[in-house]
Amino acid sequence: MDHRLKSFWGLSVHFYSCNEHCGSSRIAKMLTLPSMETPIKPVSLHKTQFCSPFSSMSAFSLPATFRVKQRASKLFVMPRIRALDAAQPFDYEARIMEAHEKSSKLKIGIVGFGNYGQFLAKALIRQGHTVLAHSRSDYSDIAVKIGVSFFRDPHDLCEEHPEVILLCTSIISTESVLRSLPTQRLKRNTLFVDVLSVKEFPRNLFLQILPQEFDVLCTHPMFGPESGKDGWKGLPFVYEKVRIGSDEYKEDRCQKFLDIFAKEGCRMVEMSCSEHDRHAAESQFITHTVGRMLGKLELQSTPINTKGYETLLNLVENTSGDSFDLYYGLFMYNVNSTGQIERLDAAFDSLKRQLYGHLHDILRKQLFGNGKGSENLQRLAPPAVSRNGYGQEATACEVKQ
């Protein structure tokens, strides 16, 4: 078989005994023709890994003879092979790699394409997954820019049969959104995932509303567009496999989804939804509450910021970007949050009493010294602070009483 290739430096290259599948560009890539000064010799190649569809799996012995001729006179040159393992379109290995790549990709339908839905979609697209989206508002233009197919009608999204539905709606709208989704249009075999910042609530909702055949994975990536803007390495990703079918396909699909976050370097934490909510109320809810309280003070940067103050300013910035719906959801839909608000309240109260109690003590000493008469003033002192579990020292008043 004779494949005529491109001209190099006035040379036409002909290949003989070359497999039909050999593409000219491939061969051209693999050859570096020597300069015209190079002594020209006839050559035949043996034991060369070269342009067979089977060649990459094992060294394929191809007795290829090359004859290179100049337009008029016949010349033979020694081709030099430059890239033996370059991925080639007809490589068996490349095909296997391609098939493997495809099989590790998911078709994911995002429901709720607001701030967080878009943030996640960018990472999913970057990793090569197919992403569809639906939201209450029309995000068609943004979706095009990210590479996402946007569906105004949830029926259309479901008819695309995504393997995964990723719920990114606000916590407080989750129930109505879920109940209005035409789940009958999805494949019976669909994985439902949520990223809500509270976990018991969606878990119970999924189990209550979704058909028994659907798999359920509850997750909480514990970072957002602000805290995760420089990458997700080391950031916690909490999940509970609430209901994952035992067949291989379902387990594999769930794992592929989790791998998205593992590949980005997240710290994967498997934890029950109730345990998550307990920890999150103590950490995340308090963080958001303090951030919002400080936000109300409208703190400004000063020329003499301490590191601690910079931390506070960062906290305000980190939390102010989130919607009030999100914060309200953290409060309303996590049973542990109400207790935390009360603890914060009591702690601030206790701190004030401690300060004022101390002040009273000093004032008393100034007014009366150590002499008599201070007993009368003691009656005016604020009531004693109980040892309420916050680990605080008793106030001066408390000691005296």
Q: Which residues bind ligand NAP (CB under 6 A)?
A: 112-117, 135-137, 168-171, 173, 177, 195-197, 221, 224, 322-323, 325-326, 329
Least CB distance from residue 138 to ligand NAP, whole Å?
A: 8
Least CB distance from residue 85 to ligand NAP, whole Å?
A: 42
Q: Which amino acid is at 165?
A: I
| DSSP-derived 3-state class of residue 5 | strand
* Cβ 319 vs Cβ 296: under 8 Å: no
Cβ-based nearer residue to ligand NAP, 5 or 269: 269
Least CB distance from residue 286 to ligand NAP, whole Å?
A: 16
Least CB distance from residue 267 to ligand NAP, whole Å?
A: 15
Cβ-based nearer residue to ligand NAP, 329 or 357: 329
Cβ-based nearer residue to ligand NAP, 22 or 177: 177
Least CB distance from residue 288 to ligand NAP, whole Å?
A: 10
Cβ-based nearer residue to ligand NAP, 112 or 357: 112
Cβ-based nearer residue to ligand NAP, 13 or 120: 120
User: CA–CA separation, 366 vs 375, rounded Å?
Assistant: 14
| DSSP-derived 3-state class of residue 129 | coil
Comparing every residue's Cβ against ligand NAP, the nearest one is: 224
Least CB distance from residue 358 to ligand NAP, whole Å?
A: 40
**Cα torsion 225, 156, 190, 180: sign:** positive
Q: Which of 213, 132, 198 is nearest to 165 (CA)?
A: 132
* Cβ 151 vs Cβ 157: under 8 Å: yes
Least CB distance from residue 274 to ligand NAP, whole Å?
A: 17
Bridge partners (DSSP) listed for residue 217 = 193, 241
Contacts (Cβ under 8 Å, ≥6 apart) of 248:
none
Contacts (Cβ under 8 Å, ≥6 apart) of 49:
55, 56, 59, 60, 84, 85
Cβ-based nearer residue to ligand NAP, 19 or 197: 197
Alpha helices in 44-184 (DSSP H): 92-103, 115-126, 140-146, 154-159, 174-180
Contacts (Cβ under 8 Å, ≥6 apart) of 50:
30, 60, 62, 64, 81
Length of the chain: 401
Q: Which of 211, 268, 203 is nearest to 234 (CA)?
A: 268
Cβ-based nearer residue to ligand NAP, 62 or 238: 238
Least CB distance from residue 374 to ligand NAP, whole Å?
A: 54
Cβ-based nearer residue to ligand NAP, 134 or 364: 134
Least CB distance from residue 124 to ligand NAP, whole Å?
A: 14
Cβ-based nearer residue to ligand NAP, 205 or 326: 326
Provide the phi-psi class of 77: left if phi over 0, else alpha when psi is between -120 and 50, else beta.
Answer: beta
For 346, counting Cβ atoms within 10 Å of its Cβ (0-12 exposed, 13-18 middle, 19+ buried), the class is middle
